[in-house]
Amino acid sequence: MAVRHSAREEMTGGRPFVAADVLGLFAAQALLATCTAALALVLPVSTAALAITGVVAAAAVVAALAGKQRKAHR
């Protein structure tokens, strides 16, 4: 009985972290939208959106390569 209670507490204890992750993702999306809007003040909107997309894609590639390199060393 105590094990079941402990397991239930562990399962529900992660919910705030999930909520924080989702809210963090929303914040990142809002930041990217803000960056796009700011860049659109000096560039056409489509060019600004494409530039921000390129920066995010480049960051994703760098993160993927870093993860691949780290996994290869293990």
Domain positions in the chain: 2-72
pLDDT at 1 over 60: no
Please report the pLDDT score of residue 10 as a whole number. 65
Please report the pLDDT score of residue 42 as a whole number. 97
Please report the pLDDT score of residue 45 as a whole number. 96
Q: Give residue-wise pLDDT tens across range 32-65.
A: 999 999 999 999 999 999 999 999 999 999 999 9
Angle, CA of 11, 24 and 59, to the nearest 5°: 115
